[in-house]
Amino acid sequence: MSTTTDNWKEVEATSREVLGPEIVAFIEHCHEDPEPSGRLIAVLHEVQAKYGYLAPAHLDAVAQLLRVPAAKVAGVASFYHYFRLTPRGRWTINLCLGTACYVKGADRIAQRLRDELGITFGETSPDGMFTLEAARCLGTCGLAPVMMVGEDLHASVTPDQVPIILDKYLRKAHEEKGV
């Protein structure tokens, strides 16, 4: 017959597996504090740094090992804009919506990106290829309107260039996969 203790051991083992040894060690270190729950944000930062985002299983495991109510962990993770609750795409698109780019038609680029990808800012395309983000000023106002795809800067972008640019990265992804 299983007991509560047995059940906790099982939950603890699963939580450790989900988070991995480095994060578990970090949480154990947090338990040396008089108020370990005060380290919740620091723990979530560590998890996101390792996995790129906070999956529901990560949040549950943090709640169990830090001994903080799951609702509180979920609340903190969704409150702070910094925390991502969905995985990032293969490439992040940063479209500049600063003044110089806006005057040169960045809103039309934004609309074309939304149409082509079927997502809006802060979201990732269903194929996992692109995460769309808005930027304030990328520091290259003379080349407006501009957008970054990963580390690449695209200057003087027109709406009709958007599908061509996206296609370039999709082809790159297929080449990487060797298909």
Q: Shortest approach of ligand FES to residue 147 CB, angstroms?
A: 9
Which is closer to ligand FES, CB of 83 or CB of 102?
102
Say which residue the tokens 């599908």 belong to: 163
Q: Shortest approach of ligand FES to residue 148 CB, angstroms?
A: 10
Phi-psi bin for 115: left (phi > 0), alpha (psi -120 to 50), beta?
alpha
Can you point out the beta strands (E) in the chain? 91-96, 130-135, 147-149, 152-154
Which is closer to ligand FES, CB of 34 or CB of 142?
142
Q: Which residues bind ligand FES (CB under 6 A)?
A: 96, 98-101, 137-141, 144, 146
Q: Shortest approach of ligand FES to residue 160 CB, angstroms?
A: 20
Which is closer to ligand FES, CB of 89 or CB of 98?
98
Closest CA to 114 of 102, 130, 99, 128: 130
Query: Rounded distance, CA 79 to CA 68, Å?
Result: 16
Which is closer to ligand FES, CB of 41 or CB of 134?
134
Query: Rounded distance, CA 148 to CA 177, Å?
Result: 23
Q: Shortest approach of ligand FES to residue 60 CB, angstroms?
A: 41
Which residue lies nearest ligand FES, judged by its C-beta? 98
